[in-house]
Amino acid sequence: MTGGDAALRAGNRAVVEAFFTSNLGNPAERIALWHPDGVKELPFAPSELPKTRWEGRDDIVANTHANAGMFENVVHTDLVIHDCVDPGLFFVTSRMVDEARFLGEPYPQSFVHLIRVQDGAVILQQEFFDSEILAGAERAARAKGRTPLGS
């Protein structure tokens, strides 16, 4: 690896760290880390979800604000960032803290993320998670009269 690649990787890694330590309770923190052409995908999400891909600034902003309204205490813990050969590509594993909630219900989720950083911002986030945990929390919330935004 050249010195330029090492410096680029370090800068990109700092963006990834900031992304996962940003506070979803303050959506502007996370939105500021997205590239204007950013894409967020949930490749293995259940088909019942109304949307599994957000593309471009307007979509990303809308999704971030919607998530801020549905999730509480979204704090990634046990964060491990895995470098790839490409200095802009990272695999990240994490899990939610015990206090995390989706629509007020416990959300003990674990994740694998593929993150691509370009020009100092996240241009791609692919998020992989256990869809049954999400579905279970949503069922419990609906039984109590709480529904996701936009449903």
Residue 149 lies in a domain: no
* Contact status, residue 91 vs residue 84, Cβ threshold 8 Å: yes
Report pLDDT for 40. 98
Residue 71 lies in a domain: yes
* Contact status, residue 90 vs residue 82, Cβ threshold 8 Å: yes
Residue 150 lies in a domain: no
What own/partner pairs with CB < 8 Å and gap ≥ 24 does 129-132 have?
129/42, 129/44, 131/44, 131/45, 131/46
Query: Counting beta carbons within 10 angstroms of the beta carbon of residue 2, is it exposed (0 to 12), middle (13 to 18) or buried (19 or more)?
Result: exposed
Report pLDDT for 147. 83
pTM listed for this prediction? 0.91
- In DSSP terms, 40 is beta-bridged to 54, 125
Tokens representing 7 are 């410096």
Report pLDDT for 1. 62
Stronger pLDDT, 5 or 3, i.e. the higher one: 5
Report pLDDT for 121. 99
Question: From start to end of the chain, where are the E strands?
Answer: 34-41, 53-55, 71-72, 76-83, 89-96, 101-102, 105-106, 110-118, 121-129
Mean pLDDT of 14-25: 95
Number of domains observed in the structure of the chain: 1
Q: What is the CATH number of the domain that holds 58?
A: 3.10.450.50
Domain that holds residue 102: 3-143
Residue 34: is its pLDDT beyond 90? yes
Residue 148 lies in a domain: no
Residue 149: is its pLDDT beyond 90? no
Residue 47 lies in a domain: yes
Residue 100 lies in a domain: yes
For tokens 């963006």, the residue is 15
Residue 25: is its pLDDT beyond 70? yes
* Cα separation, 7 vs 1, whole angstroms: 10
Report pLDDT for 150. 57
Number of helices and strands in the chain (H, E): 4, 9
Residue 151 lies in a domain: no
* Cα separation, 113 vs 81, whole angstroms: 9
